[in-house]
Structure 1
Amino acid sequence: MRPAALIFDKDGTLFDFHATWGGWSRGLIEAEAGGDAALARRIAEALGYDMAAGRFSPDSIVIAATAGEIADRMLPLLPGGDRAALIARMNARSAKAPQVPAVPLGPLFADLAARRLALGLVTNDSEAPARAHLHASGLSARFGFVAGADSGHGAKPAPGQLVACAAAFGLAPAACAMIGDSLHDLHAARAAGMTAIAVLTGLAARDSLAPHADLVLDHIGALPDWLDEQGITKP
C-alpha cells in the first residue's frame, strides 16, 4: 500500500546522531561526574561513549533508549542520586542541545507537505525536548502528531506510539511508513504493521538494518525520489 503518512524518528533520522549528541554528551557526563575524571570515565563506559573521540559505540544504550533507561544505567554510579531529578536535568539539557540536521529540513518538509502526506514524529526521547527541537528547527507546524516515551503510548520497539499516530490521522497502520535509524524503529514498525524504512544517519550500519527494513536509504533526503516511484507526487 502506498503510504498516506510518514512517521519519523528524531535522533539519527531528522538529526545526525554523532554531530548532534557527540559533544553534548561529554558535557552531560562531566556535569554529572562533578569534576571527578575517574567517575566521568565510568559513566562514559556505562553509556558506551568514547570520551576522547566524542562518539558512541554502535551498541550504546543511548541510541534508542528512553531518558529513564539512560538514567537507570547512570544511577548505580551516582550514589544517592535521585532518578526523577536526574531525568529532569537530562531533559532540560537535551531541550537546549543544538540539533544538526541530517539534511536541509525546510525544503524537504515543504516537499513532503506538498504531497499531502500526514507527518508524525515518535521518539524515545521525552516529548518536551522533542517539541523544543522541532520548534528550534522551524518544523513544529509540519507535524500533526508528536509523541515521546513519556507521552502515554509506551516506547519503541513496542508499537504503541505508531498505532496512536495512525489513529490520530484516521489511518490504518498499513497506510503509514515509519522512518528511523535503529532496530527499535524498525521493530516497532513491523509490530504496528507499517512499512519500515531505515536511514543511515544514526549509529547502525546498513548490514544490521537491512534484514529488518523494507527499504534502506542513506538519509531522509532520498524520500522524495522514493515517493515519486510510488506515484506520490506533488500537484
Structure 2
Amino acid sequence: MSGVSAVFKAVLFDKDGTLFDFRATWDRWAADLLVQICEGDDVLLRNMAQALAFDLEKQAFLPSSFVIAGTSREVAQVIARVLGRSDLASVEQEIVASTKNAPLQPVVELAPFLQNLRDAGFKLGVMTNDAEAVADAHLGKAGVRDHFDFVCGSDSGFGAKPDPEPLLAFCKHVHVDPFHTVMLGDSTHDLQAARAAGMAAVGVLTGVAKAAELAPLSDAVLSDIGQLPAWLNEMSERK
C-alpha cells in the first residue's frame, strides 16, 4: 500500500474477534475451561454455562454473552459467584493464566499484514478489554508484539471500552490526534469507544456481532482486517 494517508496516521485494533477469530479461539477455550473448573459436576457445568451464556450443545458463546466484550474481572466475578468462592483475585488470576494459553486463530497472516501498515508509516496499537498481560502473551505467541507501538488492557490504568480513555491514551502515546486515528473492532463496545474518542470506527465480522448490529455505529463494516488497506486507500483518495 502507499504511504500514510492524508486522513489517517494511526490504527488501533481490538484483539479478540478482530486480530484473532473469536469463535475459533474463545469458544474452544471456554469449552475446555468449563469442563476443567466444574470437575465433572454436570449440574455445576450447566449453571456455569448459563451464567456465562455459553451453549453447551453448540460449544459456543451466545451472541448475548457479556464475555464477548467483558473484562477478565467481570468474567472472574461470575465464575467465582457460581463456584461459591470469595477469593475473587485468585479466581481472576486463574482465568488470566488460562486465557494466556487460548488456542489462537489469527484472522490473517498478522506479521506481513502489520508490517505493511508500519512500512506505510502508520502507528499501530491494541486496546482490549482482556488483561494487558494476556494481550502481551497472545501477541507474543503470534510473533507480532513488536509490531505495535502501544498495547493496553482493561487493567492498564485507563479503563475499559466502551469508555474512550484507553483509546485516547493510545493517541497521546503515539502523538496522533484522534481525528487521524481509526479503531477496528468486532463489537459495539469497540465502536462506541471510537465514537466517544472522536475516531473513525470500523467494524469487522470476525467476532459474533452481525453487520446490521455494527453498521449504525461504523464508518464501514469490513469482512475482516485484511480489507483495511484497501479502505484506507479509498479514504485517502476521497480527500
Q: Which TM-score band (shorter chain)?
A: over 0.9
Give me the whole-angstrom Cα distance separating, in 2, the residues matched to 1:25 and 1:75: 15
Matches within 5 A, 1:36-75: 36-75=41-80
Give the secondary structure class of the aligned counterpart of 1:2. Answer: coil
TM-score, structure 2 length as denominator?
Answer: 0.94
1:3-46 per-residue CA deviation (whole Å, 9 max, x = no partner) reads 10000000000000000011110121122212211101111111
TM-score, structure 1 length as denominator?
Answer: 0.96
Question: Unaligned regions of 5+ residues in structure 1, if any?
Answer: none
Moved >3 Å (runs of 4+): none
1:110 alignment partner in structure 2: 115
Q: In the alignment, is residue 12 of structure 1 matched against residue 22 of structure 2?
A: no
Question: Unaligned regions of 5+ residues in structure 2, if any?
Answer: 1-5
2:210 alignment partner in structure 1: 205
User: 1:76 Cα deviation (Å)?
Assistant: 2.1
Give me the whole-angstrom Cα distance separating, in 1, the residues matched to 2:226 and 2:158: 28
Give me the whole-angstrom Cα distance separating, in 1, the residues matched to 2:206 and 2:94: 26
2:160 alignment partner in structure 1: 155
Q: In the alignment, is residue 93 of structure 1 matched against residue 108 of structure 2?
A: no
Give the secondary structure class of the aligned counterpart of 2:11. Answer: strand
Structure 1: which amino acid aligns with 2:160? A
Give the secondary structure class of the aligned counterpart of 1:22. Answer: helix
Give the secondary structure class of the aligned counterpart of 1:216. Answer: strand
User: How many residue pairs get matched?
Assistant: 232
Give me the whole-angstrom Cα distance separating, in 2, the residues matched to 1:136 and 1:147: 17
User: 1:107 Cα deviation (Å)?
Assistant: 2.0
1:53-86 per-residue CA deviation (whole Å, 9 max, x = no partner) reads 1111111111100011111222221113411111
Give the secondary structure class of the aligned counterpart of 1:3. Answer: coil
Give me the whole-angstrom Cα distance separating, in 1, the residues matched to 2:89 and 2:194: 30
User: 1:181 Cα deviation (Å)?
Assistant: 0.2
Matches within 5 A, 1:206-221: 206-221=211-226
User: 1:230 Cα deviation (Å)?
Assistant: 2.8
Match for 2:185 among 180, 183, 206? 180
Structure 2: which amino acid aligns with 1:226? W
Structure 2: which amino acid aligns with 1:105? L
Give me the whole-angstrom Cα distance separating, in 1, the residues matched to 2:92 and 2:79: 11
Match for 2:141 among 133, 136, 140? 136
Greater CA deviation, 10-19 or 40-49? 40-49
